[in-house]
């Protein structure tokens, strides 16, 4: 028999993995509840894994995350939940969800469950990720300038200390967040007195897809959002520094700029100068920002 007509030997590892994936998908579909006229799975609500009711008609627009739409939900043991409906052409970080669920930190949105569910508005099955809804309100309102003019001591206690701890927890399980930005943060407490800042979802879309280019290092900001790749902890730390600068500064020098203009400004001036502009910081905050916003990832603070 000639070399061209010989059967290609099957790889038993790949064959087994394919069977496992097929079995997993079949099990997920079995857990999804099809529509039942007038009951669970009707046009107003649907059921995930027979324990989580998602309210199709109760949108939570303030909790949307980029292209992801948020809906109210409740479970058998938790009163208030939040469900994100994943999008067909944007696969979630499925294999990293189990890693994320092991992290229990007050500064990170708390994972509750996920799976396939029948979604009446679209009349098809979708993947959903459900979180505990204790977020509060968005840290920044839509259209608000990216300059919060907070006091350094307030930023240190409310954000720098707890968020650096959260990022260390993620580093310890080798997980990159990819959506560290003030547009994905929520504040509990009153407008005059913020009690806690919580960082939102990072697993419902490909890595960094929802991340505004302002919060990405220059070399990643010039790439399409769908093609940035997983990234590293250094990229999260750069975004962490951008958030600190926005919280501290009193003026937004990039207001009304396009992404192209922002990237060019960073390249010409350096990220630190571009982000702080006329604002002047002293002491530990100055050194922290210089270290986090270094454009050379090798010299960036770890």
- How far is Cα 212 from Cα 84, in angstroms, rounded to an integer? 19
What is the pTM for the complete model shown?
A: 0.84
CB atoms within 10 A of CB 243: 26
Residues with Cβ within 8 Å of 152's Cβ and at least 6 positions away in sequence, in order, are: 248, 281, 285
**What does the pLDDT look like over 192-209, one tens digit per residue?**
789 999 999 999 999 999
Mean pLDDT of 114-134: 94
pLDDT for 253 equals: 87
Average pLDDT, the chain: 86
- How far is Cα 225 from Cα 145, in angstroms, rounded to an integer? 23
pLDDT for 21 equals: 52
Contact 31, 48 (CB under 8 A): yes
Inform me whether the pLDDT recorded for 263 exceeds 90. yes
pLDDT for 17 equals: 46
pLDDT for 282 equals: 73
Contact 99, 173 (CB under 8 A): yes
**What does the pLDDT look like over 264-301, one tens digit per residue?**
999 999 999 999 887 777 778 889 999 999 999 889 88
pLDDT for 2 equals: 43
DSSP letters for 191-253 = SSSEEEEEE---SSSSTTTTS-GGGS-HHHHTS-GGGS-S--HHHHHHHHHHHHHHHH-S--T
DSSP letters for 9-22 = PP-HHHHHHHHHHH
Inform me whether the pLDDT recorded for 93 exceeds 70. yes
Contact 131, 222 (CB under 8 A): no
pLDDT for 62 equals: 93
CA distances from 239 to 6, 109, 184 (A): 53, 18, 12
pLDDT for 264 equals: 95
């Amino acid at each position: 028999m000639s070399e061209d007509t010989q059967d290609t030997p099957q790889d038993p590892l790949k064959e087994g993995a394919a069977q496992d994936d097929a079995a997993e998908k079949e099990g997920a579909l079995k857990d999804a509840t099809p529509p039942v006229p007038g009951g669970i799975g009707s046009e107003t609500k649907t059921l995930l894994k027979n324990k989580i009711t998602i309210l199709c008609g109760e949108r939570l627009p303030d909790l949307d995350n980029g292209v992801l739409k948020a809906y109210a939900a409740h479970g058998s043991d938790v009163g208030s939940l939040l469900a994100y409906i994943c999008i067909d052409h944007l696969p979630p970080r499925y294999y990293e969800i189990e890693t994320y669920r092991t992290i229990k930190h007050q500064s990170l949105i708390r994972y509750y469950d996920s799976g396939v569910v029948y979604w009446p508005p679209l009349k098809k099955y979708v993947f959903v990720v459900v979180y505990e809804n204790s977020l509060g309100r968005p840290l920044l309102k839509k259209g608000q300038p990216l300059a919060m003019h907070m006091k350094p001591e307030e930023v240190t206690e409310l954000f720098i200390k707890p968020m650096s701890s959260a990022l260390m927890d993620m580093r310890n399980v080798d997980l990159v967040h990819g959506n560290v930005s003030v547009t994905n943060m929520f504040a509990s407490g009153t407008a005059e007195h913020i009690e806690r800042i919580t960082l939102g979802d990072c697993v419902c879309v490909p890595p960094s897809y929802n991340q505004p280019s302002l919060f990405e290092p220059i070399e990643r900001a010039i790439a399409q959002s769908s093609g940035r790749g997983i990234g590293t902890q250094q990229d999260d730390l750069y975004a962490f520094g951008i958030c600190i600068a926005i919280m501290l500064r009193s003026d937004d020098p990039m207001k009304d700029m396009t992404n192209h203009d922002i990237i060019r400004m960073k390249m010409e001036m350096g990220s630190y100068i571009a982000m702080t502009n006329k604002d002047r910081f002293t002491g530990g905050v100055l050194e922290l920002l210089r270290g986090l916003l270094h454009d050379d990832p090798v010299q960036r603070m770890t």
